[in-house]
Amino acid sequence: MVMLVDCSKCRTTLQLPHGAKSIRCAVCHAITLIGEPRNSPPTPPPTYLPSPTTLSTSNYNYYAPPQVHPPAPVSAPSPYNHAPPSQPPSVHGRKKAVIIGISYKKSKNELKGCINDAKCMKFMLVNRFKFPEASILMLTEEETDPYRIPTKHNIRMAMFWLVQGCQPGDSLVFHYSGHGSQQRNYTGDEIDGYDETLCPLDYETQGMIVDDEINATIVKPLPRGVKLHAVIDACHSGTVLDLPYLCRMDRTGRYAWEDHRPPSGAWKGTSGGEVISFSGCDDDQTSADTAALSKVTSTGAMTYAFIQAIERGQGTTYGSILSAMRSTIRKTDDEIGGSVVTTLLTMLLTGGSAGIGMSQEPQLTANEPFDVYTKPFSL
């Protein structure tokens, strides 16, 4: 049986290992001691306040017994809502980002440009959008901190950290560059019958991260006034955040929002916040035989196209970004042309992320539909 306790300082729900006498909070680092059961005399039953419908205002002035609240129900359907033990960085400012780049080095599924994509995304967030470096959690194989290696455990921790304590006005970014896949869905909440997944560095032994978990961790908890942007550069990534609406755009720029709410009726939206995701391709743009991950094409092309659209002044609206990204992806040559190539684009090119393919169409999904050509883009 899993035992849940509240942190004695910040009240975050923690998962207590069996037999543990204390636990350190991953959010505020406070240590909560677990008390031993005592053979104390039975306490009298609590006195509850009368219902507001029968208690007059004058009674409040003269009668105020201790108010006892019944324990809140445990609403977490899975361990996805709890932070794994770790040491997340402290937060400075109201902008936070998690950036993940996985190359799967020395494996049969090795990718060449993903770590470089992660570095370039961080460069852009810090220099163009003024994200504090201390508020960016970077997970790549090059990190020396064991908590920043992109394992399944660490990616889960990073997703929880991203949304923990968010408040109205906060701007959050989740970027992933690596392998993506699909697996059969048996709960009836996928229109095509498949869950989309991300592949951590240790996916072969620990398994993949399913879109249901991603949605439960970084989408559903977002309160009103918080904005999350996701940039997912992976195969089968069209609806990897399980957002309810997908913007279907043709090659002329005309678009319509498709309703992707689950047939099961499961809620996939937020708690009032806003989530918008750019992804590398549609869910079904690669072979259904997703065990062969080497079939992923154009690694890094989506990150390249996203950054180039912003660097070249095409990032005024969500529609202009999506159109520019699709135009870049469709090009068959490697010509950069136009204005002077920025340091950021040079980094992308030298890192081998400029391989542009013809088989993918970047996608835009959101928790609510909107006019993509009038809504300003901002991070």
**Strand 209-210 versus strand 255-259 pairing type:** unpaired
Q: Is 7 one of the annotated active-site residues of the chain? A: no
Instruction: Report strand pairing: 227-233 vs 31-33.
Output: unpaired
User: Does the annotation count 179 as an active-site position?
Assistant: yes
What percent helix, strand, coil does the chain show, rounded to 5?
A: 25, 20, 55
DSSP per-residue string spanning 217-278: HHTTTPBTT-EEEEEEESTT-TTTT--SEEEEE-TTS-EEEEE---TT----S-BB-EEEEE
Catalytic-labelled residue, pool 179, 229, 236, 260: 179
Taking alpha carbons only, the member of 267, 210, 263 closest to residue 239 is: 210
Amino acid at the residue 124: M
- Within a 13 Å sphere around the CA of 257, how many CA atoms are in the beta-carbon half? 14
d(CA 47, CA 50): 9
Catalytic residue among 25, 199, 235, 281: 235
**Which residue in 160, 58, 150, 99 sits closest to 306, CA to CA?**
99
Nearest CA to 176 among 110, 253, 231, 112?
A: 231
Q: Which residues are catalytic?
A: 179, 235
